[in-house]
Every structure is written in C-alpha cells, then in structure tokens.
Amino acid sequence: MVYSRTIRLIDTDAAGVIYFASLLSICHEAYEDRLLQSGINLKTFFRNTETALPIVHGEIDFFQPLFCGDRIEIQLIPKVINENSFEISYKIFLAQSLEKTIAQGKTKHVCINPLSRQKISLPDPIRNAIFGDLDHL
C-alpha cells in the first residue's frame, strides 16, 4: 500500500524544512489510512475497550530534507514480531522520484487490553487490516 501526501506549512520549521516529528506523524496518517482502506471504522477502533494498539517505539531517518509543497509517497511494510506485536516500516519517496528513498521510519505496536494493560493476541480484523490475510501469523 502507498499513501500520498503533500508537505504542508504546518509540518515544517521556520526554514520551511519538515520537522522530524511531523514526518513520523505523517507515517501514522499512512497507518490510519491503511486501517480505513481495510474497512476499519477508526471512530470505534480508537474507542475500543477490549483492544488497543499503542506504539511503543518510533523512529525516523532522513536522507535529504523535505520542504513545504513537496509531494511524497509512503510505502508501508508490516512485519510480525510475535502474536501480540508488529512493526511497520515506512519508506518515503518524493512522488516524482520513486526510485530514491528520501526518508524511512518505523513504528512498533503492541496489542493490549486497555483496561488491564496486559498484552493480548492481535484480533483477526486487525491482522487482516494490517497484513491483508491471516497467513502472516
């Protein structure tokens, strides 16, 4: 899956260069879009009292600056860690130059019961939304 987005003024610092936390936030937008495209209702998903998927680690690396007005594409690459956690790698490209990675990110997610805060197995609808099928676990 690929997510497209234009870097906006609000994403940048005073010099017009994207702020590192903004790109990590845009990667999260791409993750949310993947859930939406898979049929997950985000309003109920994030209010779920039985399952939560907090991000326990995030990172972003830049290979060149991004500026306000740049059009980017983000490729999501999910990977299973175990029955209750996964990570998503994000490869970021300029839309007009898809052969060169200009940044990369990663988020690690753990599935928990939000009331007990204990780890639980990923539910099938979440596995399907993130991985496309159940053959990955």
pLDDT of residue 136: 45
pLDDT of residue 135: 47
Q: Cα–Cα distance between 116 and 86 in angstroms, integer?
A: 20
* Active site residue ranges: 13
Looking at per-residue confidence, does 133 or 101 come out higher? 101
The CATH class of 2-132 is alpha beta
Phi, then psi, of 33 in degrees rounded to 5: -65, -40
pLDDT of residue 46: 77
DSSP state of 67: B
70-112 per-position pLDDT tens digit? 999 999 999 999 999 999 999 999 998 888 999 999 999 999 9
Say how far residue 128 (Cα) sits from the centre of its chain: 15
Separation in Å, CA 41 to CA 93, 122, 125, 126: 28, 17, 11, 11
pLDDT category, 137, cuts 50, 70, 90?
very low
